[in-house]
């Protein structure tokens, strides 16, 4: 590890990026806790200050994937939703309801996460799904069956990546985001063909796309949404990067193009997991305001588009609205609860 620290810690002029193989070896030492915590913290912080290259991100993902459980659900067009594991503090967490609606409209989706992670320690998708009554503790074989039979599954870090989970206290001590926060959004433990990921900082765009391509995704959507999450707002436009074999296409998602009722920040006031779940349940039951219903349907439509189920977001929005209005989305939630 001292060798790696010297390579990346020489400042702007002297430091170099590690090769993919070196990055994998270095993070392997971290995950195995084969070196002192001081060196682990130094490595994570130096990589943050230097800025990870795409090759390094791929190497880090290699090390993590080699020490994690994998599943291979036999479904076509599986969409991996890469929500930040440390959650959010300023807005409702829309992603769980949007994903359930998208599944009710024909998508197959895998979500993943963990509770109470640094640096935000915010409300995460795992917290909201649990409050909705969805199983977030299932072992790999049960998650695979759930995806195959019901179109939805959740991978908990503690279950699928226990070595990464074991670093939670150390991550808390360094108090800043590290490469681990990036990798865990895109390491694709379910072999998904499609991905939608929240983009926090623009300088990460190109390297995240390159790393995500290396995870085997056919297509990746990066959304610069609420708090840098994958949930697109309806009160303002946001950036979208669509990466496929044809290249990278940048656009601006403008909710005004779809005639949506804007959900203003006050409509999306944060709360604990139970509050999030109660609000999202009103959407699935058809009792919510037009603003809340529209933001869930909009993001469900984006997920249908991301996974290739529809040709455009407008068609996805129509399908999502029908899934809510017909009761199919609520029935899907009830089915998931019965499986818990």
91/17 same-domain check: no
Q: Is 151 left (phi over 0), alpha (psi -120 to 50) or beta?
A: left
Domain count, the chain: 2
Region of poorest pLDDT, from 174-183, 204-213, 323-332: 204-213
* pLDDT reading at 181 higher than 80: yes
35/107 same-domain check: no
pLDDT, tens digit, 9 for 90 and up, residues 188-215: 999 999 999 998 877 778 888 888 888 9
174/109 same-domain check: yes
139/10 same-domain check: no
What pLDDT score was predicted for residue 203?
A: 76
Task: Identify the domain boundary among 38, 66, 94.
Answer: 66
Q: Report yes or no on 32 lying in a domain.
A: yes
136/57 same-domain check: no
Q: Which domain holds residue 43?
A: 2-66
Compute the mean pLDDT over every residue in the chain, rounded to the nearest whole number: 96
Q: Report yes or no on 28 lying in a domain.
A: yes
Task: Identify the domain boundary among 46, 66, 86.
Answer: 66
pLDDT, tens digit, 9 for 90 and up, residues 210-255: 888 889 899 999 999 999 899 999 999 999 999 988 889 999 999 9
Q: Report yes or no on 73 lying in a domain.
A: no
* pLDDT reading at 284 higher than 90: yes
141/279 same-domain check: yes
8/108 same-domain check: no
Task: Calculate the CA 148 to chain-centre distance.
Answer: 20
Q: Report yes or no on 235 lying in a domain.
A: yes
118/262 same-domain check: yes
Percentage, residues of the chain above pLDDT 70: 100
- Which whole number is the average pLDDT over 165-169? 97
Q: Report yes or no on 305 lying in a domain.
A: yes
What pLDDT score was predicted for residue 214?
A: 87
* pLDDT reading at 318 higher than 90: yes
Q: Report yes or no on 71 lying in a domain.
A: no
Region of poorest pLDDT, from 84-88, 172-176, 211-215, 284-288: 211-215
Rounded to 5, what percent of the chain is helix, strand, coil? 50, 10, 35
CA distance 243 to 220: 5
CA distance 72 to 30: 27
What pLDDT score was predicted for residue 281?
A: 97
84/137 same-domain check: yes
86/219 same-domain check: yes
* pLDDT reading at 101 higher than 90: yes
Task: Identify the domain boundary among 43, 66, 89.
Answer: 66
Q: For the domain that residue 119 is a member of, what is the CATH number?
A: 3.40.1030.10
Q: For the domain that residue 27 is a member of, what is the CATH number?
A: 1.20.970.10
CA distance 267 to 270: 9
Global pTM value: 0.96
Q: 197 and 231 in contact (C-beta within 8 Å)?
A: no
22/140 same-domain check: no
Q: Report yes or no on 184 lying in a domain.
A: yes
86/157 same-domain check: yes
Q: Report yes or no on 224 lying in a domain.
A: yes
What pLDDT score was predicted for residue 246?
A: 85
What pLDDT score was predicted for residue 205?
A: 83
């Amino acid at each position: 590890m001292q060798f790696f620290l010297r390579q990346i810690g020489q400042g702007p002029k002297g430091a170099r990026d590690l090769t993919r193989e070196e990055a994998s070896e270095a993070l392997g030492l971290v995950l195995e806790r084969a070196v002192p915590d001081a060196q682990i913290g130094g490595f994570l912080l130096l990589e943050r200050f230097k800025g990870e290259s795409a090759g390094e991100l791929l190497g880090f993902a290699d090390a993590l994937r080699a020490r994690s459980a994998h599943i291979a659900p036999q479904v076509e067009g599986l969409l991996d939703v890469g929500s930040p594991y440390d959650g959010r503090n300023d807005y409702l967490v829309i992603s769980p309801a949007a994903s359930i609606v998208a599944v009710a409209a024909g998508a197959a989706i895998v979500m993943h996460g963990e509770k109470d992670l640094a640096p935000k320690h915010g409300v995460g998708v795992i917290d909201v799904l649990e409050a909705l009554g969805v199983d977030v503790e299932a072992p790999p074989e049960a998650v695979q069956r759930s995806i195959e039979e019901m179109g939805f599954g959740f991978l908990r870090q503690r279950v699928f990546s226990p070595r990464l989970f074991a670093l939670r206290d150390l991550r808390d001590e360094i108090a800043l985001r590290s490469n681990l926060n990036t990798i865990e959004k895109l390491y694709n433990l379910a072999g998904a063909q499609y991905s939608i990921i929240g983009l926090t900082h623009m300088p990460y765009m190109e390297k995240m796309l390159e790393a995500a391509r290396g995870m085997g995704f056919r297509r990746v959507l990066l959304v610069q949404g609420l708090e840098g999450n994958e949930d697109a707002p309806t009160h303002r436009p946001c950036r979208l990067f669509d990466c496929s074999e044809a290249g990278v296409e940048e656009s601006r998602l403008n909710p005004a193009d779809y005639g949506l009722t804007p959900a203003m920040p006050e409509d999306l006031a944060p709360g604990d997991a139970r509050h999030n779940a109660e609000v999202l349940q009103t959407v699935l039951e058809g009792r919510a305001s037009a603003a809340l219903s529209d933001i869930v349907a909009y993001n469900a439509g984006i997920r249908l588009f991301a996974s290739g189920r529809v040709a455009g977001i407008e068609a996805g929005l129509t399908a999502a609205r029908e899934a809510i209005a017909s009761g199919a989305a609520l029935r899907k939630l009830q089915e998931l609860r019965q499986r818990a």
